[in-house]
Amino acid sequence: MLERTLIVVGPGGVGKSPLDFLLKPDIIKIDLYRLRSDGPRDANDFLYSHPKLRDEFRLILTELGDTVRRIDTIEWYPKSKTLFFEVRKEWQLLLLMGIKGRFAKLEIYAPVLPLLLSVSDIRNALGKMEIIVLNPASESITKMPNWKDLENQTQHNCEERGDSLASIQKRVASISDEAPAWKNLILANDATEYLNWQYPEYGYKRPDSGASVVEHQKNLLIKVRNCLVEKNPHLALFFKAERELDQLSAPFVK
């Protein structure tokens, strides 16, 4: 049974993906399956499945005696710990049965998370939550009168990362959906907010003059680790030690 689960949220380009390289090798990654009728988005979309899978799962689970609980856009099967929920009108599948290990990381769309955590069975299956909110702005999300600063910071980070115009527009537009959820996670679910987050993804690709890319990325990741753990010491349970990060020998952000 899981003791703790790490969840990292924040706007596009803020630097969530590089944090995976901080994780200890034994940290379990809990994956979501995305059910799309138009197929996978690209060759890397290996957690894609057809929406027909939902119908087949529901039939099997019902035959096995599991009874669905419907909460808003959630379909929860408590006996098998199987969860279906909607994200932008597409269903996603999360399987929580049979997870072996003490610590895990879950990547999930933030607006659905407060609703999931309101279901005690789901919350208990994930253990103690360690939720990180990476905020590139200098003002707390809990006090922002609007999301304009977050939108501007997101546009800048995504432009510097080299995203397409369509991708940038999509990520900026999603702020109005995601920011209220980040606020809820901070106020009601003990999430740790990191203000003025200075480690966007594009920064890993820009070494200082005279520094190699691998040395730059390694040193940056060590700074990120220390910043995260200083504010929330529990995060050290998930992260490699500094000496382990110092042994990195190849660039990990490309």
Q: In this structure, are residues 217 and 2 in contact, taking their beta carbons and an 8 Å threshold?
A: no
pLDDT grade for 138, boundaries at 50, 70 and 90: very high
Amino acid at the residue 142: T
Contact by Cβ (8 Å): 39, 164:
no
Q: pLDDT-derived band of residue 46, with 50, 70 and 90 as boundaries?
A: low
Contact 20, 219 (CB under 8 A): no
Which band of pLDDT confidence, cut at 50, 70 and 90, is reported for residue 37?
confident
Residue 159 corresponds to which tokens in the numbers above? 């432009």
User: Among 137, 124, 249, 108, which Cα is nearest to 200's?
Assistant: 137
Q: DSSP label at 208? A: P
Q: What is the pLDDT of residue 23?
A: 96
Give me the chain's average pLDDT, please.
92
For residue 52, give every residue at least 6 positions away whose Cβ sits within 8 Å of its Cβ, in sequence order, or none.
none
Please give the single-letter amino acid code of residue 118: S
pLDDT class of 208 with cuts at 50, 70, 90: confident
Burial class (CB in 10 A: 0-12, 13-18, 19+), 44: exposed
Residue 131: pLDDT band (50, 70, 90) is very high
Residue 193 Rama label (left phi>0; alpha psi -120 to 50; beta): beta
pLDDT at 191 over 90: yes
Q: Which alpha helices (H) appear in the chain, and where do they start and end?
A: 52-63, 113-117, 120-126, 148-161, 165-173, 175-188, 213-231, 242-245
**pTM summary value:** 0.90
DSSP assignment of 26-40: T-EEEPEEEE-TT--
DSSP 110: G
Helix, coil or strand: residue 131: strand
Closest Cα partner for 20 from 240, 188, 168, 241?
Answer: 240
Q: What is the largest CA-CA distance in the chain?
A: 64
Q: In the chain, pLDDT over 70 holds for what percent of residues?
A: 96
Sheet order of strands, 4-9 included: 28-30, 103-106, 4-9, 128-134, 192-194
Torsions phi, psi of 94, nearest 5? -125, 125
Locate tokens 């803020």: which residue? 14
N- to C-terminal Cα distance for the chain? 35
In the structure, what pLDDT confidence band is assigned to residue 106 with cuts at 50, 70 and 90?
very high
Instruction: Give the tens place of pLDDT for each residue, 150-162.
Output: 999 999 999 999 9
**pLDDT band per the 50, 70, 90 thresholds, residue 45:** low
Share of the chain above pLDDT 90, in %: 78
Q: Is the pLDDT of residue 14 over 80?
A: yes
- Among 227, 247, 223, 246, CA closest to 235: 227
* Residue 67, number of CB atoms within 10 A of its CB: 10
Give the model's confidence band at 172: pLDDT under 50 very low, under 70 low, under 90 confident, else very high. Answer: very high
- pLDDT tens string 215-253: 999 999 999 999 999 999 999 999 999 999 988 889 988
The pLDDT of residue 42 is above 70 = no
